[in-house]
Chain A
């Protein structure tokens, strides 16, 4: 399906979404509050985005944006969803019940960025130790011993 069709779909289900087509794929900016319902729609609707191939987070210092790369195994179209969350108390609804792969990816983002995924079945640190302090992929993270500055 073309980007125009996907855009047309978004205007019906999420009128607040904004688009950015400068990159390779269509970028859609969504509100974190409405994301869960929208995700459910994207998965089950005619667009059939059944494959979440990348879930990550970017620290823009003023806010975090959680980035979802979605694709469809039937139509082979790809979109990028971005949701901005607050730095002080980053929270967003989990999508782990919609795309199972999100369970691990969200744990990783929680571990390295400290973004809390609400209603996640098992939100614990995945990679770092349980008593680790701080979130290493944040831009303000400092580790005087182990970090190499070039």
Chain B
């Protein structure tokens, strides 16, 4: 056991003169998961942030090397568990690209609908969790009220509420539940009615705005250089929505706007996500009555063998660009898989954004980065 003086002298624990080293995480109310940040403080001002990763590292990339092309898709649900549909979609896409499978029109629409519902659910959870980071507990329950409806819809069609495993190479696993359309319409109606409550409770709250504006500023150049994607980059004015620039499925046929804010602070990122929820609702409204009849899954071989080569597919998850890079040697299992996760790059910008600000600002910055730790560790 250490004596008191030994601990005081240990600079890795206590920092050098005038510094205070505190650990935020791996168990801490502000880190939603097992992120571990070692923060050097000078009073309340942050001098250095050092992320320690790996608490939930499962080496999914290695695991996938021994899984078949049908199996590995489901492991990706366990990465960014809040956008599991979109992760599955990206992985299924990459296999389809390699196999050159043509997907039925019905499956495409169902995939897009599911992706957008997932995006809304993810942003709802983020809204609640971020407000909680700032000390407001109530928005969490309001956000979960709507998220619960989406989870119920998912449960009926996919049989799961979090890790859906609904996408298969060539389409979706099952047809949608008969109540699907009616329930989604009910959700859209409720969302449009209740979303004003978020504005009253959160967006227009003066304390909230003061906590967010001018906090954690990320310039446009830095956002690109740090490889930030998704709402984080779009809050800094970087146009990076994969749905717009490299449309997949039927995103080129639906009308929606890429949400851009230019301030680059936490409030801009907040506004991007809130406005994105409205855009997702817009997409859902266009598609929900126009699900074409037909097959929900293309006919595929039981055992998939990707031809020799390299395949990369990019999709836009709720957190940013998710990339799947498959290197195939022509076998039934991939030779190497790399998952490019949005959270990993977004986290790398954290120190740059939070340095020199107050400890309380770190929570606002971290909250608007919307980190999902299994996505970062993989």
Contacts and interface: CB of A to CB of B under 8 A. Distances in A.
A24 B344 contact: no
A119 B111 CA distance: 45
B175 interface: no
Contacts of B12: none
Contact of A126 (B53, B59, B310): B53
Given A22-B309, A128-B54, A73 B62 contact: no
B139 interface: no
Nearest to A76: B245
B121 to A, nearest CB: 26
A126 B224 CA distance: 22
Contact of B325 (A54, A104, A112, A150): A54
B361 interface: no
Contacts of A112: 59, 61
The listed residue with most A CB atoms (<10 A of its CB), out of B226, B309, B349, is B226
A104 B78 CA distance: 22
A104 B377 contact: no
Interface string B323-353: 1010100000001101010001101110010
Interface centre among B63, B227, B349 (most CB of A within 10 A): B227
B336 A59 contact: yes
B312 A58 contact: no
B59 A137 contact: yes
Interface stretch (A1-9, A32-40, A45-53, A86-94): A45-53
A99 to B, nearest CB: 6
Contacts of B217: none
A53 to B, nearest CB: 6
Contact of B225 (A58, A99, A126): A99
Contacts of B347: 104
A126 B62 contact: no
Interface string A97-128: 00111011100100010000000000000111
A100 B323 contact: no
Nearest to B310: A23
A126 B239 contact: no
B222 interface: yes
B9 interface: no
Interface residues of B, number: 41
B366 interface: no
A103 B227 contact: no
Contacts of A108: 344
Interface in B85-107: 97
A53 B348 contact: no
Nearest to A102: B227
B340 A148 contact: no
A50 B54 contact: no
Interface string B172-194: 00000000000000000000000
A19 interface: no
A84 to B, nearest CB: 14
A23 B344 CA distance: 26
B238 interface: yes
Interface string A72-84: 0100100010000
A100 B340 contact: no
A101 B225 contact: yes
A136 B345 contact: no
A48 to B, nearest CB: 10
Name the residue in A104, A108, A112, A147 with the highest tally of chain B Cβ atoms < 10 Å from its Cβ.
A104
A73 B309 contact: no
Contact of B348 (A27, A73, A80, A103): A103
Contacts of A54: 312, 323, 325, 338, 340
Nearest to B52: A126
A110 to B, nearest CB: 13
Contacts of A105: 227, 344-345
Contacts of B229: 53
B348 A137 contact: no
A51 B233 CA distance: 12
A51 B229 CA distance: 10
A108 B61 CA distance: 12
B323 A127 contact: no
6 contacts: A100-B226, A101-B227, A104-B348, A126-B53, A137-B62, A150-B67
Given A53-B227, A54-B325, A136-B62, 6 more contacts: A23-B309, A54-B338, A56-B325, A100-B227, A101-B348, A112-B61
Interface of A: 22-25, 27, 50-54, 56, 58-59, 67, 69, 73, 76, 80, 99-101, 103-105, 108, 112, 126-129, 136-137, 141, 147-150
